[in-house]
Amino acid sequence: MPEYTGYVGKSLEFLKTNNVAVGSSVKIQTDLIYPGIIMPRYEHADENHVVIKLNSGYNVGLEIDQIKKIEKLPTNEKIIEEQPRLEKNSSLPKILLLSTGGTIASKVDYRTGAVTPILTADELNSSVPELAKMANIDTEMLFAEYSENITPDHWLQISKKLEEFSSSDYKGIIIAHGTDTMHYTSSFLSFALAGYPIPIAIVGSQRSSDRASSDAAINLIGATQFLVESKTNGVFVIMHHDESDETVACHFGTRVRKNHTSKRNAFQTIGDDPAYIIINDKILQNQKDEYFKKKEFKPKTNLDTKVALVKYHPGYDPNLLEKIIEMGYRAIIFEGTGLGHIGNTIYDVVKKANEKGIFLGMTSQCIDGRVRMTVYESGRDLLDLGIIPLENMIPEVALVKAMWALGNSKDIEGVKELMLENIASEMSH
């Protein structure tokens, strides 16, 4: 039965009249010619357009009144066959690839043209045959979630799984992950598994792995090379470094964030160069040796999500902060202005939070730089109210660290101690 999801009225009649439906391969002529696949539409879309997925992978909406001709093409459904399991080479090191979903573990459904998170870890491995020449890669699929659906419970699942392999003979571990919340996951793993004996590479892509413009292959190849050849440990986010297809960056898991919505080189180390750069098959260390000192591995994988991230802005309503206190939150991370400031209209509520034993941490809305709360009188007032400056910790990282610190401390003093200890390079020198 033909599918017309999202098409109503004029657009639905257009599809039926021309004997095409969602998933049909077509060639549409307006002022230009557009070959592609009819896509489903959103539930509340208008009735004046049809949407097709072009061969480039991009979607385009075409106004029906501007269409001069539509031609239905013979079906060109691409069947992705099951890949044979790759042969192992006993002379190569072992790598574990864990898949959690996201664009890197997605492919196009060639019936609808939609991107769906359905690649298994095995398929992901098989889709990049270069990996088999570098390492023997074992695979496991933990779950298949877009990263906006990843929760702290997923962080715990990942960390518990990684704990299982802390004494294994793997050279390193790759975690395939969606990019939108990748730096939250990398932060938690950096704290929970500080001192992990082998390197962990969290890898994503901005374009799905079966598109010509995908960055999945180069990111996976770079991550595998890094795990095989590097002598370090720790948690790294490994992604495209620039617009070329030759350079991959390895960022510390606590010093990185996604700074662009769609570019392949969206991830950047804040305030410094990436820890490593991989270019022309060479791994270049950018950071000082002091950042790579190995610590004793003592996993601390508990957490408490009763942490609020408050982005201060002019006109911020103190009642919102009151509500956070009433809801039983145990820590508040302020994303303050400039050197670490919030308006005096909420000072009374801040004082109340401090008196209730809530941890109060200050970060900055500025992309780069360090919190300095002793420069101005207002900052010194906030110090007197119990707010703790968190140096140049990224706000999102401070949020995750506070969750982790709450879960692994007996009291507020223990939380303060952990928050001010540089566990995993979250505060750069």
For the chain, the straight-line distance linking the first and the last C-alpha, in angstroms and rounded, comes to: 63
3-state secondary structure of 85: coil
Candidate list 185, 258, 301, 401, residue with the active-site label? 258
Rg (the chain; Cα; Å) = 25
- Dihedral over Cα of 347, 351, 356, 358: its sign: positive
301: annotated active-site residue: no
Distance of CA 188 to the CA centre of its chain: 12
Given 100, 139, 179, 181, which residue is catalytic? 179
* 311 labelled catalytic: no
In the annotation, is 179 catalytic? yes
Active site annotation includes 258? yes
Between CA 264 and CA 254 the distance in angstroms is 20
In angstroms, the CA 227 to CA 179 distance is: 20
Catalytic residue among 103, 181, 185, 301: 103
Element (H, E) at 175: strand 172-176
Catalytic residue among 180, 210, 272, 304: 180
Q: What is the sign of the dihedral through the CA atoms of 332, 337, 341 and 343?
A: negative
What is the per-residue DSSP string for 29-70? Answer: ESSSEEEEEEPP--TT--SSEEEEEETTS-EEEEEGGG--EE
**Residues carrying an active site annotation:** 103, 179-180, 258
